[in-house]
Structure 1
Amino acid sequence: MADYIVGLTGGIGSGKTTIANLFADKGITLVDADVIARDMVAPNSPALQAIIERYGAHILDNQGQLDRAKLRLRVFDDDDERTWLNGLLHPMIRKHMLKQAREARSEYAIMVVPLLVENSLTQMVNRILVVDVDPETQITRTMARDKVTREQVQAILDAQASRQDRLTLADDVIANEQTMEQLTLTVEQLHQSYLQAARQYQLTQE
């Protein structure tokens, strides 16, 4: 049971998954907000039913799953609709993230939350780890990964917290333009630091 939670965040294309997996390789439980968000809108879920009632069945794909791309387009430029959707999903996602983190078998848990800063979720974690890269690297990586245009990536970047906002809130930063060998060493150093912090935190709770 992990009482100490490290929030891992970063902008699109920063390489959060790579860093998270390096911690997982050390036996640390990962709590992934994106995975939980997908689970919340699985077929026949109450959240999906509410989304269908609001937007119609055309929001589904041919397999009856939520078409996340269509939903993003529907709410991206509409503050009212985005507020409605966030109000529906965010409380459920937060509840399940905390539940999974508390049930972690490792000494601390890594909570992977892309929008940790944007959605004001920093109070859920004990420490904030930001994965940081140059904005041009974010753009080129995301274009290659998602087969999208520069303009589409830039629109996403503009909608996210700024690089400076994330860095200002960070307790730790990984510059993710290193070699895998360097990243592995950096993660090992942070891992040892988090183990120590988790043990000290546990002592204060007893």
Structure 2
Amino acid sequence: MLVVGLTGGIGAGKSTAAARFAELGAVVIDVDAIGRDVLAPGGRAEQGVIDAFGPGITDDNGNIDRSKVAAEVFGRPDRLTALEAVSHPAINAELDIKLRSLADGGKVQAVVLDMAVLTESRLGQLESGRGYTKVLVVEAPEAVRLPRLIERGLTEEQARARMASQASDEQRRAIADHVIVNDGTPEELAGAVDLVWAELTG
């Protein structure tokens, strides 16, 4: 079973590419969603994060308030490192369970791990050996990404701050097996994904 790590900067079109992979038959796992699940009530990382950050990051019900966590770590590398030290092993543990289940079923040809911080972390690199073995990067010029982000409701300042907080295109390319440049139409992106899919599964 092929496992591919799919990443890209905010606004580059990673999620659109992931949707196309799903249409082609891949099982797409939203790693960011697992990140939310492990912080949810009863989640694998819930108590560890509360212990690390204190009760001030919880809501009135004692559950983790993700907006408070985001405010705590944004622009503060030391606090982000503290969060990831708890949450990333929990995410990888959940990923390992999902991938083992898919592999045991014997019917899945390829799995795509849709993940924002592949380049900046060890997410998806599993001690079991079930993690991704190929990296696919979707990128787009800043002049294309910026209007997309503003259309989503971010201010230009917020959009630039988000982009600046992530890995650079150069850093992503350095670990990529395939790079898709998404600076055209949705149809062109779908066509590029189709070509990569054919190469990966051929």
Amino acid at match of 1:115: V
* Pair 1:42 & 2:44 matched: no
Change (3 A) 1:148 1:133: same
What is the match of residue 185 of structure 1? Answer: 191
Could you say which residue in structure 2 is the equivalent of 1:112? 114
Counterpart among 20, 23, 28 of residue 21 in structure 2: 23
| Residue number in structure 1 paired with 2:151 | 144
2:21–2:193 Cα contact (<8 Å) kept? yes
Name the SS of the counterpart of 2:117 in structure 1. Answer: coil
Task: Pick which of 83-92 and 132-141 moved more.
Answer: 132-141
Instruction: Give runs of aligned pairs for residues 120-139 of structure 1, distance below 5 A.
Output: 120-121=122-123, 123=125, 124-139=131-146
Cross-structure match for 2:30: 32
Q: Which moved more, 1:171-180 or 1:14-23?
A: 171-180
**158 and 63 in structure 1: CA distance in 2 versus 1, 3 angstrom threshold:** same
| SS of corresponding position for 1:5 | strand
**1:195 and 2:193 equivalent?**
no
Percent of aligned positions that are identical: 35
Aligned-partner Cα distance in 2 for 1:110–1:128: 10
**Preserved contact between residue 9 and residue 112 of structure 1 (Cα < 8 Å):** yes
Alignment of 1:100 onto 2:103: no
Count residues in correspondence: 193
Q: CA deviation at 1:120?
A: 4.0
Pick which of 179-188 and 44-53 moved more.
Answer: 44-53
Q: Which runs of 5+ in 2 are unaligned?
A: 126-130
Give RMSD over aligned pairs.
2.2
Tell me the TM-score normalized by structure 2. 0.84
Asked whether the 8 Å contact 2:28–2:112 carries over to 1, the reply is yes
Cα distance change, pair 35–193 in 1 and its aligned pair in 2 (3 A): same
**Partner in structure 1 of residue 128 of structure 2:** none
What are the Cα deviations for residues 10-31 of structure 1, in whole angstroms up to 9, with x where unaligned? Answer: 0011111110011111221011
Structure 1 gap ranges (5+):
197-206
Q: Residues 12-91 of structure 1: matches in 2 within 5 Å? A: 12-61=10-59, 66-91=64-89
1:51 Cα deviation after fit: 2.9
Deviation, 1:116, is 0.5
Give the secondary structure class of the aligned counterpart of 2:45. Answer: helix
TM-score normalised to structure 1 length: 0.83
Contact 1:97 1:111 in 2 (8 A): no
- CA distance, structure 2, for counterparts of residue 27 and residue 63 of structure 1: 41
1:32–1:97 Cα contact (<8 Å) kept: no
Distance 1:187 1:114 in 2: 18
